[in-house]
């Protein structure tokens, strides 16, 4: 447990650094030119997703642990795996990486704001959230998420040729660490995972399905092209479970059960996404 606790923030710093090094200033300029698509993606991730999570936490469970767990996972930016999935789905890779980098960079504000300001007001029985310090949480996230992303962008902008040569190593190593953190959380929280998996499986699956449906509706309302639609759906849907686990550990501590939702959602999100993808393929072929 101590090893995971000390290792996870360092691993997250490296993952965020790799996310930063997967894009550069030129890519950002290209994405910002299509400001409508960018705003839809950011709104979906930073506004729509937390709103859905808060509604679930208020109306679909009375368990404080589950309430905090839901809030924990919906506050997160998109995961490093979203870029891989976007590539497989023939989405907009530049937009995907940019959204991941931007939401990760903003997380030092968005996550503490949800945890320490919004959630305790709406879910007043969840006392644990009311004792969290906004400044302390914000500074911690600034150093392990925002700063490494910005450093990575700077490195890629200045040393683009070199970064291209080691890009595969950066991708695979960051993915390996991401999975390692998820597995580590499963091991540490195993008692809670076993206890809650059967009882909250339906709740997590329903949360995943609602998120997927709502984002799908949003991108269709704004009539984005197919490539951008796929990208925003994937970016919003695939939450950074590893980051949720680390934030949960920093704020609440391992062994509390709060990270169980994040660990289970990390598994369910890929199952739901695959089911949605195959359904869309099947319907389009009829």
pLDDT in tens, 218-243: 999 998 998 999 899 988 888 877 77
Please tell me the predicted confidence (pLDDT) of residue 53.
Answer: 87
The pLDDT assigned to 285 comes to 45
Q: What pLDDT score does 2 carry? A: 46
Q: State residue 124's pLDDT score.
A: 61
Domain count along the chain = 1
Residues of the chain with pLDDT under 50: 1-3, 282-283, 285-286
Task: Give Cβ neighbours of residue 263 (< 8 Å, ≥ 6 apart).
Answer: 182, 185, 186, 189, 193, 241, 245
CATH number at 263 reads 1.20.1530.20
pLDDT at 128: 54
- Domain extent, residue 40, equals 2-285
Work out the number of other CB atoms within 10 angstroms of the CB of residue 206. 15
pTM of the prediction?
0.80
Q: What is the pLDDT of residue 282?
A: 47
DSSP sequence for 80-149: THHHHHHHHTT--HHHHHHHHHHHHHHHHHHHHHIIIIIHHHHSTT-HHHHT--HHHHHHHHIIIIIHHH
Per-residue pLDDT at 201: 72
């Amino acid at each position: 447990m101590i090893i995971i606790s000390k290792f996870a923030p360092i691993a997250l710093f490296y993952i965020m650094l790799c996310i930063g090094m997967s894009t550069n200033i030129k890519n950002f300029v290209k994405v910002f030119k299509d400001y409508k698509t960018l705003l839809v993606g950011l709104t979906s991730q930073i506004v729509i997703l937390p709103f859905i999570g808060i509604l679930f936490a208020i109306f679909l469970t009375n368990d404080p642990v589950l309430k905090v767990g839901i809030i924990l996972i919906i506050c997160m930016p998109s995961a490093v795996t979203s870029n891989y999935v976007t590539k497989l789905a023939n989405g907009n890779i530049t937009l995907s990486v940019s959204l991941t980098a931007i939401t990760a960079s903003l997380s030092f504000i968005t996550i503490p704001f949800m945890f320490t300001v919004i959630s305790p007001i709406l879910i007043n029985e969840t006392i644990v959230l009311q004792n969290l310090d906004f400044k302390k949480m914000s500074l911690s996230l600034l150093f392990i998420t925002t700063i490494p992303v910005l450093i990575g962008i700077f490195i890629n902008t200045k040393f683009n040729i070199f970064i291209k040569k080691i890009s595969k190593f950066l991708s695979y190593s960051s993915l390996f660490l991401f999975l390692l953190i998820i597995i580590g959380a499963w091991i540490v929280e195993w008692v809670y995972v076993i206890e809650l998996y059967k009882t909250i499986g339906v709740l997590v699956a329903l949360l995943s399905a609602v998120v997927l449906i709502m984002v799908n509706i949003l991108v269709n309302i704004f009539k984005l092209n197919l490539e951008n639609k796929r990208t925003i759906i994937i970016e919003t849907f695939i939450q950074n479970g590893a980051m949720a686990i680390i934030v949960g550990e920093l704020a609440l501590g391992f062994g509390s059960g709060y990270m169980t939702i994040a660990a289970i959602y990390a598994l369910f999100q890929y199952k739901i996404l695959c089911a949605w993808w195959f359904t869309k393929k099947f319907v389009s072929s009829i």
